Amino acid sequence: MSQLETLELIESYYRAFNAGNAEGMLALLSDGVAHDINQGSRELGKPKFREFLARMSASYQETLTDLSYSVSLDGSRAAVEYLVLGKYLQADLGLPEAHGQSYRLPGGAFFAIEGGKITRITNYYNLEDWLSQVRGEAP
């Protein structure tokens, strides 16, 4: 893929994310997509990613703003920085209780692209910052 095609692919992914369109996101992934969860494990395949998205939509309401894209010259890699504007709706496994807490958190993601599809997504945000916000602790 060209640099421009990769940029359009990743922009489409985030448009689908912000629209809450899980199927639109999944359509952009390879069947064997590798998903590196922030400070967690690697999950493989679209079915696992679908489960992840369902869990996320149950516990979090998020919109990504201030997106800044970087794409390799050959179109095989991309990175995105963004600001997450979120609300914690329902307690997620191993995390604090949810009471509709709002949070604002910088984050980023790295992508590998092959054959016109996303083959790897690696997400990052500062978990300690998020925990402080949802616990109501002062910075």
Q: Please name which of 88, 90, 85 lies closest in space to residue 107, comparing C-alpha atoms.
A: 85
47 vs 33: CA distance, rounded Å: 10
CATH class of the domain at 3-135? alpha beta
Rounded Cα distance, 105 and 82, in Å = 9
- pLDDT tens for 15-72 read 999 999 999 999 999 999 999 988 788 899 999 999 999 999 999 999 999 999 999 9
Q: Does the reported pTM lie above 0.75?
A: yes
State whether residue 104 is helix, strand or coil.
strand
